């Protein structure tokens, strides 16, 4: 299994490959992933030029451990096949498939990625995939998409296109996205892949942004697509367990291990009733704290 399938992806920041000034040093903002965009951000008559920039950036810029995801053009365009050859040859970590509507879309991309891995001498399975769900059909087919490939690490909601398809608009309240978010995160969890929320584009409303990140974390999402470096730190803050969370999770893990050996199934920790059902959640908190670099314990 590719060890990057489950890596930490709290923040996935979009960058326009057409702009050399944007792609030369985004690692200074420390996002977990960057999404180098060949799709919507690049003008139709600059698709070719963007690929040369992408190839050399992937080859020559040291992104210092930040995951390099490439958003390729949609399968309904003449660009996506060369996009795949370019980014696989360049050495990208992952590919984001735009406008995914069914498992067959993932299978088609997977076929071309495998061919490119062979052509450019990369190990088979080294390039991972994620699928953007941008339509009502894509969202309804979330489970088959989530289960479509061993390369697929997650799915992301693309709210702008989705709300157009739903014949509504982004309101800022989240009401128009509630059904899609809930459905996608349930499908992702059922399939064992990650789930990422859509972008928040009003950069003047940081309070609204933080509220949205807090909400999607509570819903079960793993991270959020971002459009500006200013959104990275607040996102990480929300997704990083607090000291209180970590101490409680440590107690739960230790007590469950200890009580299990003594044949006790239910007990209390800090006045809360705890049983084995809390174990996985507490372990996840510890794992997230470790991955976020804030855990110094021995669990």
Partner 1 sequence: MEVKGTAMAGTLESSDAQVTVEPGTNGIELSVESSVLNQYGRKIRQTVLDTLARLEVANAKVTVVDKGALDCTLKARVEGAVFRSNGITENLPWGGAIK
The binding site for partner 1 (CB under 8 A) comprises: 19-21, 24, 47-49, 51-53, 55-57, 59-61, 81-82, 85-86, 89-90, 120
Smallest distance from partner 1 to CB 50, Å: 9
Smallest distance from partner 1 to CB 21, Å: 4
Cα end-to-end distance, the chain, whole Å: 24
Question: How far is CA 240 from its chain centroid?
Answer: 15
Smallest distance from partner 1 to CB 232, Å: 21
**Among the listed residues 227, 226, 217, the one whose alpha carbon sits nearest the alpha carbon of residue 292:** 217
**Among the listed residues 208, 240, 207, the one whose alpha carbon sits nearest the alpha carbon of residue 223:** 240
**Residue closer to partner 1, measured from CB, 48 or 233:** 48
Contacts of 61 (CB under 8 A, 6+ apart): 23, 24, 25
**Residue closer to partner 1, measured from CB, 81 or 126:** 81
Cα(72)–Cα(223) distance, integer angstroms: 20
Cβ atoms within 10 A of the Cβ of 218, count?
9
DSSP 8-state code for residue 167: T
**Residue closer to partner 1, measured from CB, 53 or 94:** 53
Residue linked to tokens 């006045």:
271
**Residue closer to partner 1, measured from CB, 49 or 190:** 49
Crossing angle (nearest 10°) for helices 232-239 and 206-219: 30
DSSP 8-state code for residue 153: E
Q: What angle do CA 235, 238, 242 make, to 5 degrees?
A: 140
Smallest distance from partner 1 to CB 52, Å: 4
Cα(168)–Cα(297) distance, integer angstroms: 48
**Residue closer to partner 1, measured from CB, 61 or 210:** 61
Smallest distance from partner 1 to CB 43, Å: 11
Smallest distance from partner 1 to CB 120, Å: 6
**Residue closer to partner 1, measured from CB, 24 or 272:** 24
Cα(117)–Cα(98) distance, integer angstroms: 20
**Residue closer to partner 1, measured from CB, 126 or 292:** 126
Smallest distance from partner 1 to CB 37, Å: 16
């Amino acid at each position: 299994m590719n060890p990057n399938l489950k890596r930490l992806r709290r923040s996935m920041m979009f960058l326009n490959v057409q702009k050399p000034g944007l792609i030369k040093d985004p690692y200074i903002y420390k996002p977990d992933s960057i999404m180098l965009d060949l799709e919507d951000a690049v003008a139709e008559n600059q698709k070719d030029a963007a690929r040369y920039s992408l190839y050399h950036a992937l080859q020559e810029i040291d992104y210092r451990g930040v995951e390099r995801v490439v958003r390729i053009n949609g399968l309904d365009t003449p660009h996506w096949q060369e996009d795949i050859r370019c980014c696989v040859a360049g050495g990208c970590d992952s590919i984001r498939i735009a406008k995914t509507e069914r498992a067959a879309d993932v299978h088609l991309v997977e076929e071309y990625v495998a061919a490119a891995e062979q052509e450019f001498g990369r190990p088979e399975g080294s390039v991972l995939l994620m699928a953007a769900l941008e339509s009502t059909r894509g969202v309804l087919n979330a489970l088959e998409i989530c289960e479509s490939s061993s390369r697929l690490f997650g799915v992301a909601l693309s709210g702008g296109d989705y709300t157009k398809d739903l014949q509504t608009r982004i309101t800022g309240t989240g009401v128009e996205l509630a059904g899609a978010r809930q459905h996608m995160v349930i499908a992702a969890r059922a399939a064992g892949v990650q789930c990422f929320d859509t972008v928040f584009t009003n950069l003047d409303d940081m309070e609204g942004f933080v509220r949205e990140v807090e909400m999607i974390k509570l819903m079960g999402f793993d991270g959020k697509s971002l459009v500006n470096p200013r959104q990275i730190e607040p996102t990480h803050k929300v997704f990083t367990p607090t000291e209180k969370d970590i101490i409680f999770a440590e107690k739960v893990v230790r007590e469950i291990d200890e009580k299990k050996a003594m044949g006790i199934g239910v007990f209390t920790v800090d006045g809360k009733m705890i049983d084995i059902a809390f174990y996985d959640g507490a372990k996840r908190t510890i794992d997230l704290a470790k991955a976020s670099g804030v855990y110094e314990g021995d669990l």
